[in-house]
Amino acid sequence: MSRCFLVRHGATEWNAQGRIQGQSNPSLNEAGRRQARRLGLRLAQVPFAEARSSDLRRCSETVAGILRGRNDVRLQEMPELREKNFGAWEGLTFREVEARYPDRYRNWLRAGDPSFAPPGGESDLQLYSRADSVVDRLREARTDSDANLLVVTHGGMLRALIARLLDLPAQRMWNFRFANAGLSVVSVFDEGNAVVDLLNDTSHLGEGFGE
């Protein structure tokens, strides 16, 4: 059995403004950097065999905050761990998307069709397929069945990864919600079954958690 410590990146100014980030590349804001440091303190005593991260800045900066001073952990950035591509909707708030693309926006919310893609973007089915290839790569990379693996990525990719690990269909991705710097832990058994041990925990961000 191995354990995957799954983390959503810390906050950015686009998060604060309610903007769709997708594969755009904003950096963490001060709140996000603080969140990463606090999560690093929480995980300081967890031995990681290795770490994987999206190559977008908000994830690279988050994993750097978590692993600060831990030169023993090998880190690999994976473009496959990027957020869903929202195409023309990136940089817009949901209210702006609704104003500019009213029919598509309503259909997206009402139909829950995983094959729907924003203009120039990715569908949930495409994101799920990407998550499927990521899971395969993570399993191939395991050198120790008892190892802990740190994965820092995005909310949409986390939904897809959790659904894939639990053998849920792509339509179930939106049953999960992930906060900035939230921590989830999934145990993956050698035969492929997975169990969620912790989901979207943010207790390390609460008042009184020192730095």
What amino acid positions are annotated as catalytic residues? Answer: 9, 83
Q: Tell how strand 74-77 and strand 148-153 pair up.
A: unpaired
Q: What's at 101, amino acid-wise?
A: Y
Structure token pair of residue 157: 């990719």
d(CA 129, CA 108): 19
Instruction: Please classify residue 74 by burial: count the beta carbons closer than 10 Å to its beta carbon, then call 0-12 exposed, 13-18 middle and 19+ buried.
Output: exposed
62: part of which helix (H) or strand (E)?
A: helix 57-66
The dihedral of CA 157, 159, 162, 168: what is its sign?
A: negative
What is the torsion angle, in degrees rounded to the nearest 10, for the CA atoms of residue 64, residue 68, residue 72 and residue 75? 0
d(CA 59, CA 71): 18
In sequence order, the 6+-apart residues with CB closer than 8 A to the CB of 154 are: 8, 9, 21, 54, 56, 58, 59, 81, 82, 83, 84
